[in-house]
Amino acid sequence: MSRAQAPAHQGRGPAVSPAPGGLDRLLVAALRAAEQAVCVADVSLPDEPVVWVNDAFTRTTGYDAAETVGRNCRFLQDGLAERGYDVRTPAAQIRSLVDNRTGGTVLIPNRRRDGSVFCNELALSPLPEEDGTVRYYVAVQQDVTAREQAQAARTAVETEREELADHLQRQLVPDRLPDVPGLDVAVRYQPATRADGSRGEVSGDFYDLLQLPCGGTLAVIGDVSGRGPQAAATTAALRWAVRGVAGVVPGPAEVLRQVGLAVLDTLGDRFATVAAVQFTGSTDDLRVPVTGDVALAGHPCPVVVTPSAPSRFVGNPGMLLGPFPDPDVQGCPVDLRPGDHLVLYTDGVTEAAAPDHDLFGDERLLAALDALPDRASARADEVADAVLRAVARHVGDGPTDDLTLMVLHRPVP
C-alpha cells in the first residue's frame, strides 16, 4: 500500500478504499478473498489505528469495518485481564515487534463482539515504503483455540502420566537403605533419558538392601524387561517377593529360585535379571574379611575391586527369571577384604551406547574401576560416581537406558 492510501481521518468510520492501481487492486483483492482475518494498521498515526479489514475479520471477531477502522486493535482484549487472561505478555511482544519494525507471530487472547474468547495466532508483517520506512502493518489472524485446547489437554495428560511414573518409580526402590555396620554402601539410580534429555518411561530397574533375621545382609539389584506402568508393577512385585523370601530360605541362589517361582505368572511374557549377594554373620569387625555368596539369574556379573590387583568379574550368569518354570541359579563365593569394593549394576551400564552405537562394554567398566587413584580408601560414593562419569563420557549427549549401580565397600580400619 502506498502513502497515498493513508486515511484522511483518524476517527471511527468506514474502511478506506484502496487507490486504484493494478498491483494495489490485486493485493487488496487477495486480502479481501483470504479466508483468514486480515487487518491493516497505520503505525505512523497516533495510537496506530486500523485502517482496513477484510470480511473474514468480521466473521472471526463479529466486528465490521465501521466498528473497527480508526481504533487500535487492543480493543479486542478489553476486559480480558480482569477475567484472568494474560494479555500483558503478548501485548508486550507485539509492542516490541512494532517498535523495531519487524515481523513475527504472537499468540494472544481476543474477545469477540458477543463476549466469547478465542486464541488468536497473530502474524504481523511490516510493509516497507520505497525509502525503507514502515507505515503500515498487515496483521493476519487465525483462530487456533481448538489447537491450543488440544495441546493443553495433551500437556495435562502428559503431566498426569509423569506424576504416575514418578509415583511408580518411587515404589520400586526403598526410601532409604539400612545402615549396615562395616559396610559402606552407595547407590546410583537413573531412569532412561531420551535424545532431548527428557526422562523416558518408568524404569524396570530395582535394588534393595536387607538385614536378615539370621544376622546376615542381602543386597539385590535387578532389571525387568520393558518400561512403563506394567513393567513397573511387575518390578514392584518382584522386589516384594524378594523381601518375602529373604531370610526364610537359605542362600541367595535359593532366594532367586523361589522368587522366580513366585512371580512366574506376574512376569507373563516379560523376563527379569537379578543379582543377589548375601553376606553371612556379622560385618562389624573391619579387621577381617566378610564372606558371602553371589547368585545371578541372567544378570551381568558383579565386579570385585581390590586395592592392588586388577578388577575382576565374579559369579555365574544363571537363568533368567520368567521364561523358565524352575530356573537354574548357582551361588558363587565372594569375600570382601578391608579396602575391597563389590560393584553391582544393571545392563544400562555396559550397554550404554555412544553416538556411533559402540557399547560401553565390560572392558571399559573394568578400566574405569582400575583407574581409581586410591582404590583402598575410595568411598563407595566415589566409585559409583567414577563409573557414571565414564559412562557419561562414552554416551555424550545421546540417550541412555535405565541405569542402576550399587557399590558395597569394606572400609580399611
pLDDT of residue 303: 97
Handedness of CA 63, 69, 70, 74 (dihedral sign): positive
What band does 18 get if pLDDT is binned at 50, 70 and 90? very low
- The cell numbers describing 336, all together, are 570382601
**DSSP SS3 for 55:** helix
pLDDT band at 368; cut points 50, 70, 90: very high
Please give the full DSSP string across 163-187, using - where no structure is assigned: HHHHHHHHHTS-SSPPP-TT-EEEE
Across the strands, what pairs with 303?
A: 313, 343
pLDDT tens sequence across 392-411: 999 987 777 788 999 999 99
256 pLDDT above the threshold of 70 = yes
Strand bridging mode 217-224 / 312-313: unpaired
> Which tens digit of pLDDT belongs to each residue from 224-254?
887 777 777 788 888 888 998 997 888 999 9
Asked which of 33-42, 135-144, 208-217, 279-288 is least confident by mean pLDDT, the reply is: 279-288
Q: What is the pLDDT of residue 23?
A: 44
| Tens digits of residue pLDDT in 333-343 | 999 999 999 99
Q: What SS3 state is found at 297? A: strand
Cα–Cα dist 289/337, whole Å: 4
**Cell triple for 225:** 524387561
Percent of the chain with pLDDT over 70: 89
Average pLDDT of the chain, as a whole number:
86
Exposure of 201 by Cβ count < 10 A (0-12 exposed, 13-18 middle, 19+ buried)?
buried
> Average pLDDT in the 107-129 region?
95
Q: Average pLDDT for residues 339-349, to the nearest whole number? A: 95
Q: What is the mean pLDDT of residues 150-177?
A: 77
Q: Which residue type, as a one-letter code, is found at position 212?
A: L
**Out of 3.30.450.20, 3.90.550.10, 3.90.226.10, 3.40.50.1820, which CATH number does the structure's domain 3-143 have?**
3.30.450.20
CATH number of 167-409: 3.60.40.10
360: its cell numbers: 560401553
Q: Which residue has the higher pLDDT, 15 or 341?
A: 341
Better-scored residue on pLDDT, 288 or 370: 370
pLDDT for residue 9 is more than 50: no
Rg (alpha carbons) of the chain, rounded to whole number: 34
> CA dist 346 to 124, 187, 189, 206, 377, Å?
54, 12, 10, 9, 25
Report domain extents, the chain.
3-143, 167-409
SS3 call for 282: coil
pLDDT value of residue 13: 39
- Residue 317 phi/psi, 5° resolution? -55, -40
Cell of 317: 550368569
**3-class SS at 406?**
strand
* Average pLDDT of span 215-229: 85
Encode pLDDT of 42-57 as tens digits: 999 999 999 999 999 9
DSSP 246: B
The answer to whether the beta carbons of residues 370 and 311 sit under 8 Å apart is yes
**Res 22: pLDDT:** 43
Tell me the pLDDT tens digit for each residue of 293-312. 999 999 999 999 999 899 99
**Is residue 103 very low, low, confident or very high in pLDDT (cuts 50, 70, 90)?**
very high
* Residue range 352-369: mean pLDDT, rounded: 94
pLDDT at 218 over 80: yes
The arithmetic mean of pLDDT across residues 94-122, rounded, is 96
The pLDDT confidence band at residue 156, using thresholds 50, 70 and 90, is: confident
Helices 361-370 & 380-395, crossing angle to 10 degrees? 140
Task: Look at 92-96, 99-103, 162-166, 220-224 and tell me which has the smallest mean pLDDT.
Answer: 162-166
pTM above 0.85, yes or no: no
Q: Taking the alpha carbons of 132, 134, 135, 136 in that order, is the dihedral positive or negative? A: positive
Q: How confident is the model at residue 169 (pLDDT cuts 50, 70, 90)?
A: low
Q: How confident is the model at residue 284, as a pLDDT?
A: 79
Q: Tell me how far apart the alpha carbons of residues 338 and 335 are, in angstroms, rounded to a whole number.
A: 10
Span 143-157, average pLDDT = 90
Per-residue pLDDT band at 260 (split at 50, 70, 90): confident
Residues in a beta bridge with 273: 223
